[in-house]
Chains A and B, each alone.
Chain A
Amino acid sequence: MPPRLQRAAVPLLTASLLALATACGGGGGDTAGTAAKPGEKIKLTIGLFGDFGFKPLYEEYKKTHPNIEITENVTQFNDHHNNLVKRLATNAGADDIEAVEVGYISTFTAQPAKFHDLKQYGLDRRQGEYLDWKWQQGLSKQGGQLLGLGTDVGGLAMCYRKDLFAKAGLPTDRTEVAALWPTWDKYIETGRKFAASGVAGAKFVDSPGEIFRAMVNQAPTGLYDDQDQIIVGSNPAVKQAWDLSNQLTSEKLTAKLAAFSPPWNTGFAKGSFATIICPAWMTGFIQEQAKDAAGKWDIATVPGGSGNSGGSHLMIPKQSKHPKEAAELIDFLTSKENQAKVFKEEGTFPSIPALYDDPSIQSFTKPFFGDAPIGKIYSEAAKALKPQHLGPKEAEVRVVIGDGLGRVEQGKQTPDQAWAQVLEDVKKIK
């Protein structure tokens, strides 16, 4: 190519490059930068997993805050938390308010720089109202900042199908049922009786996964020690829970339905299992999934003493443009009155102990569960709760163990082989 042509070619190529660059660059800029002017409408987004029962509260909130518009984004449990990790890391896409489940709370409180300190908005005044351990979970690792405010706690109970129990010749009254299983061994023994009676199409329990979680949560220490070290291999309580869970499998008491999967939902509708571990929030699930089974489910106390399974916090990522308004909304959603309201609608149990002795909670019953005094049952469960230290990769460890239980349940491995693989997998968690 003669030099003259080269000189002409360079600007030509540059021009096409520039044209492309501007074409590609156009998309990014538009969405950012919507700082609110006073009096302007403010859009708040709130990211949840599952139904928190907040919808009626938004309507109520809008009456007193006409300039606030609230959009709820609901994602599936694991996706929700994984997405939040990604959105914090890339500093884009997070909602103004994000719900974080207790299994993930330590993951996020370990990154205080990614969240707004709710103390800035005066929410530390709420400390006196809360269960102390629930409050502590929302603090940053070093304890200096308040990153999340609690919504609910998951005090444990055991839900059971009265009709299936009656068919199996077992008692159906909730105090008599509770007397059947003071311990997990007795629970398995009851399961054996249930299986022996040969009720067609129904197993004793859905799957061992959530039972395992409940048993670990009842122990003073669980998957982590106080120094955030994973102690799955050395904590006898974990091994004991593992063995008992696998006993359910080996005695063929489980319906092999992984929790929250579509076949599990179908199992509710078809009455495929007679008992299910019932943290308070599970009652809302059952009511939703087993619509036709009103009056068939009832609630008894859980074997092996009280424990906490689940419960959430609400947090405000640093990327939120309206932290002040978001904090006000959190304050509203978690207020004593509203936690009580949500409990009555959705079943998620308050984390504010003053409510536990409140007559309206104490006397609260639900027709769906055969008028079981669920207010009283979960108040007792929550009062007796011994908090447990949760580590940063709590959820990931639980997934690894859940897969192990699944391998045993699907007949792929013996419990010992599965346990060995679980310990290997746990070592890989960084």
Chain B
Amino acid sequence: MSSLPLAVARRRHRRGVRHTLDVRVSPYAYVAPFLLLFCAFGLFPLAYTAWVSLHDWTLLSDEHAFVGAANYVTLLADGYFWNAVFNTLSIGVLSTAPQLVLAIWLAHLLNRPLRFQTLFRVSLLLPNVTSVVAVVVIFSQLFGRDFGLINWVLSWFGAGAVDWAAGTATSHVALSTMIMWRWTGYNALIFLAAMQAVPRELYEAATLDGASGFTQLRRITLPMIRPTIVFVVVVSTIGAMQIIAEPLLFSASSGAGGVGASGGPDRQYQTLALFVYEQGFTKFDFGYAAAASWLMFVAVVLVAGVNYLLTRRMRGGLA
């Protein structure tokens, strides 16, 4: 080293620095755009919402008095809030559980040599690319009380006209149907992708051992795609906890009364997100709405976490 001229040594050193710089710093530079955007549109709104939730903050006045936890105290005693929690969970379970079972079944059907395979797969995704407004408007007509198709079919079996939007359970069923219509195919495609990664040999061996198709699905497919199931369950749960467009539009297009955001005159299908929207954007009580959205955030994390743990434990039952 010492025999080298000084200039060369310096150049080498500089090259070494550049290399270390590249290796150590570049990764941060690469992820910086995401982190910056996440801070601007994810973290900052979250923190700011928390700040707003501690104030008596309405859109119409310029003064925002600090009230501490008062909004949360009122909220926890607000029957309408708990009603929204119940509706969210009820619609969430009613839509997610059958949806995932159906999606796995559809994926299983498509996971075999078929004619027009691409056509079937594309058509699975079609409901998902339809605008939610169109879906709700059409389904509201199908679920119409006086002239709806579903009541018409039910009348063949002697059933009286069901006022779908008026009842709590019936409106939840109607809304869950709309959600399932939109998301089943999408989830089926994700399951299908995972199923195609399962080695064929396993099925061949199972067939030789005389296992039926259903046993193969239960004993091979499901355990092998478990990570995907966990992913889909968590994502669907988060989606289900945030439902707003369907109930909001349902109340406008079903004629159940109730103007927009109350989710029916008896709030029979007002979800948490819709409750937040009602407080924030029809009553302009931002402080209260911010508190509600924070509690909603906590609820989403809790429910998604519980579902994550439950699905992870599924292995015991299957393998």
Q: Interface on A for B, CB 8 Å cutoff?
A: 1, 4-5, 8-9, 12-13, 16-17, 20, 24, 76, 78-79, 82, 85-86, 89, 111, 207, 209, 256-258, 261-264, 266-267, 270, 272, 396, 399, 402-407, 409-413, 430
User: B259 to A78, Cβ gap below 8 A?
Assistant: yes
B207 within 8 A of A: no
A-B contacts counted at CB < 8 A amount to 120
Contact with A along B17-40 (1 / 0, CB 8 A): 100110011001100110011001
User: B284 to A17, Cβ gap below 8 A?
Assistant: no
Residues of B within 8 A of A78 (CB): 259-260, 282
User: A402 to B259, Cβ gap below 8 A?
Assistant: yes
Q: Say which residue of B20, B255, B281 sits within 8 Å of A82 (CB atoms).
A: B281
User: A86 to B36, Cβ gap below 8 A?
Assistant: no
Looking at the assembled complex, report how far the CB atom of B241 sits from the nearest CB atom of chain A, in whole angstroms.
25
Q: Say which residue of B37, B141, B147, B265 sits within 8 Å of A403 (CB atoms).
A: B265
User: B255 to A272, Cβ gap below 8 A?
Assistant: no
Looking at the assembled complex, report how far the CB atom of A223 sits from the nearest CB atom of chain B, in whole angstroms.
16
Looking at the assembled complex, report how far the CB atom of B308 sits from the nearest CB atom of chain A, in whole angstroms.
33
Knowing A5-B24, A12-B29, A262-B140 touch, does A402 contact B257 (C-beta < 8 A)? yes
User: B257 to A5, Cβ gap below 8 A?
Assistant: no
Q: Say which residue of A82, A89, A272 sits within 8 Å of B146 (CB atoms).
A: A272
User: A410 to B21, Cβ gap below 8 A?
Assistant: no
Contact with A along B26-58 (1 / 0, CB 8 A): 001100110011001000000000000000001
User: B20 to A5, Cβ gap below 8 A?
Assistant: yes
User: A207 to B257, Cβ gap below 8 A?
Assistant: yes
Knowing A262-B140, A263-B145, A402-B259 touch, does A410 contact B166 (C-beta < 8 A)? yes
User: B265 to A402, Cβ gap below 8 A?
Assistant: yes
Knowing A78-B259, A263-B254, A412-B266 touch, does A16 contact B146 (C-beta < 8 A)? no
Knowing A262-B141, A263-B255, A406-B258 touch, does A85 contact B59 (C-beta < 8 A)? yes
Knowing A4-B17, A82-B282 touch, does A264 contact B265 (C-beta < 8 A)? no
A-B contact pairs, 14 of them (CB 8 A): A24-B40, A78-B259, A85-B60, A86-B281, A86-B284, A209-B257, A258-B257, A261-B252, A264-B255, A402-B257, A402-B259, A407-B265, A412-B265, A430-B285
Looking at the assembled complex, report how far the CB atom of B203 sits from the nearest CB atom of chain A, in whole angstroms.
49
Q: Say which residue of A76, A89, A258, A413 sits within 8 Å of B60 (CB atoms).
A: A89
Knowing A5-B24, A13-B28, A13-B32 touch, does A410 contact B252 (C-beta < 8 A)? no
- A24, B36: Cα distance in complex, Å: 11
Looking at the assembled complex, report how far the CB atom of B10 sits from the nearest CB atom of chain A, in whole angstroms.
13
Residues of B within 8 A of A86 (CB): 59, 281, 284
User: A263 to B281, Cβ gap below 8 A?
Assistant: no
Q: Which residue of B lies closest to A19 (CB)?
A: B33
- A13, B36: Cα distance in complex, Å: 11
Q: Which of B25, B253, B255 has most A Cβ within 10 Å?
A: B255
Looking at the assembled complex, report how far the CB atom of B29 sits from the nearest CB atom of chain A, in whole angstroms.
6
- A263, B165: Cα distance in complex, Å: 12
Looking at the assembled complex, report how far the CB atom of B294 sits from the nearest CB atom of chain A, in whole angstroms.
20
- A399, B261: Cα distance in complex, Å: 11
Contact with A along B69-97 (1 / 0, CB 8 A): 00000000000000000000000000000
Q: Which of A261, A411, A413 has most B Cβ within 10 Å?
A: A261
Q: Which of B257, B260, B282, B284 has most A Cβ within 10 Å?
A: B257
User: A20 to B33, Cβ gap below 8 A?
Assistant: yes
Residues of B within 8 A of A5 (CB): 17, 20-21, 24-25
Knowing A5-B17, A85-B59 touch, does A410 contact B265 (C-beta < 8 A)? yes
Residues of A within 8 A of B17 (CB): 4-5
B256 within 8 A of A: yes
User: A410 to B253, Cβ gap below 8 A?
Assistant: no
User: B32 to A8, Cβ gap below 8 A?
Assistant: no
Looking at the assembled complex, report how far the CB atom of B263 sits from the nearest CB atom of chain A, in whole angstroms.
10
B283 within 8 A of A: yes
B262 within 8 A of A: yes
User: B256 to A410, Cβ gap below 8 A?
Assistant: yes
- A358, B219: Cα distance in complex, Å: 86
User: A403 to B260, Cβ gap below 8 A?
Assistant: no
User: A409 to B257, Cβ gap below 8 A?
Assistant: yes
Residues of B within 8 A of A396 (CB): 283
User: B258 to A262, Cβ gap below 8 A?
Assistant: no
Q: Which residue of A lies closest to B256 (CB)?
A: A258
- A411, B264: Cα distance in complex, Å: 13
- A399, B147: Cα distance in complex, Å: 26
User: A8 to B255, Cβ gap below 8 A?
Assistant: no
Looking at the assembled complex, report how far the CB atom of A211 sits from the nearest CB atom of chain B, in whole angstroms.
14
- A262, B285: Cα distance in complex, Å: 30
B144 within 8 A of A: yes
User: B20 to A262, Cβ gap below 8 A?
Assistant: no
| Chain B, range 122-156, C-beta contacts under 8 Å to A | 137, 140-141, 144-147
Q: Which residue of B lies closest to A393 (CB)?
A: B283
User: A8 to B258, Cβ gap below 8 A?
Assistant: no
Looking at the assembled complex, report how far the CB atom of B221 sits from the nearest CB atom of chain A, in whole angstroms.
44
Q: Which residue of A lies closest to B20 (CB)?
A: A5
Residues of B within 8 A of A261 (CB): 252-257
User: A12 to B266, Cβ gap below 8 A?
Assistant: no
